[in-house]
């Protein structure tokens, strides 16, 4: 059994699953790849959000997921008619195994440039499946732009869930209209997170507050995220497959706000609970 506890202050979702005896195989349950909107395609699993951004100069992949998820991502990319070898840039949501453990394998298979938010570099560097060093070709900072083939993605530091949790924004076009896309890293408080008196991450609560502030400032038409459940992917996918005259179901600014409201409520309740316990 692998260890997925990369930082002493974090229990990632996969760790919780392992503790419950389900293993991370549940995270790798297959899901059909599909076009989300514009030049954005879903190539992840039943719950892990991996996205392919296509451009004339090659493609950008967001989230490699687990090391053993990578072949599944490759198959999804190819099923959509694209070449996995055309992946030029690999980005990530945050330094947890269920989102970025597969970076080294993707780089081996494609030669993609791996980019990581500065604050997550220490954690990422300790993520070495098969004892393979974790590749980092570019260290990102808050507000940095990643450009390829006319596509521009902006890295927003939205910390708390991890120190370098990254939310990506971009614009895409469909039907003659331009849409603001937000690909949320995560702003959830996992079981086991210590928000008060955390010696390894003293500013964790303040970082969550900063993260919520940044996320609420981002214009959002299309809401996507590192986990499918965050943005109700399954229901939206079913609507997308049915087609019809209505708008693309992934255009959901209200769903984005509702998710932030729910997560902030959960954060503040857990913070108050831990503050009371500390007294």
Query: Is residue 84 domain-resident?
Result: yes
Instruction: Please report whether residue 254 resides in a domain.
Output: yes
Instruction: Indicate which CATH number applies to the domain containing 261.
Output: 3.60.15.10
Check the CA dihedral 268-270-276-279 and report its sign.
negative
Is 156 inside a domain boundary? Answer: yes
What is the pLDDT averaged over residues 261-268?
98
So what's the pLDDT on residue 138?
98
Residue numbers of the domain that contains 85: 13-278
Q: Is the pLDDT of residue 223 over 50?
A: yes
Could you tell me if residue 4 is inside a domain? no
pLDDT, tens digit (0-9, with 9 covering 90-100), for 165-197: 999 999 999 999 999 999 999 999 999 999 999
What sign results for the dihedral spanned by CA atoms 185, 103, 151, 44?
negative
Q: What is the pLDDT of residue 24?
A: 73
In-domain check, residue 266: yes
* Structural domain includes residue 2: no
Q: What pairs with residue 180 in β-bridges?
A: 171
Task: For residues 6 and 173, give the distance between their C-alpha atoms in angstroms, rounded to a whole number.
Answer: 38
Q: With 0.95 as the threshold, say if the pTM is over it.
A: no
Measure Cα distances from 87 to 74, 90, 95 in Å: 10, 7, 20
Instruction: Give pLDDT, residue 15.
Output: 40
For residue 8, is it within any domain? no
Q: How far apart are CA 203 and CA 207, in angstroms?
A: 6
276: enclosing H helix or E strand: helix 253-278
Q: How many independent structural domains does the chain possess?
A: 1
Domain-embedded: residue 3: no
């Amino acid at each position: 059994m692998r260890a997925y506890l990369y930082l002493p202050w974090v229990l990632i979702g996969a760790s919780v699953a392992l503790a419950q005896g389900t293993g991370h195989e549940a995270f790798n349950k297959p899901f059909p790849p599909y076009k989300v909107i514009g030049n954005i395609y879903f190539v992840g699993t039943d719950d892990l959000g991996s996205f392919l951004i296509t451009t004339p100069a090659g493609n950008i992949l967001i989230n490699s997921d687990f090391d053993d998820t990578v072949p599944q991502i490759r198959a999804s990319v190819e099923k959509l008619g694209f070449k996995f070898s055309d992946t030029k840039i690999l980005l990530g949501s945050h330094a947890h195994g269920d989102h970025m453990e597969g970076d080294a394998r993707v780089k081996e298979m494609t030669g993609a440039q791996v980019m990581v938010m500065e604050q997550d570099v220490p954690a990422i560097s300790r993520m070495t499946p098969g004892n393979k060093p974790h590749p980092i070709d570019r260290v990102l900072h808050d507000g940095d732009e990643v450009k390829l083939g006319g596509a521009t993605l902006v890295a927003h530091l939205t910390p708390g869930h991890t120190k370098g949790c990254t939310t990506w924004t971009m614009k895409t076009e469909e039907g003659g209209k331009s849409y603001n896309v937000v690909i949320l890293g995560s702003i959830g408080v996992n079981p086991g997170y210590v928000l008060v008196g955390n010696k390894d991450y003293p500013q964790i609560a303040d970082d969550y507050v900063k993260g919520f502030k940044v996320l609420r400032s981002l214009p959002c038409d299309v809401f996507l995220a590192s986990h499918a459940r965050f943005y109700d992917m399954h229901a939206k996918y079913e609507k997308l497959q049915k087609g019809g005259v209505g708008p693309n179901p992934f255009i959901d600014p209200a769903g984005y706000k509702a998710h932030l409201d729910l997560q902030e409520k959960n954060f503040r309740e857990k913070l108050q609970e831990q503050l009371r316990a500390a007294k």
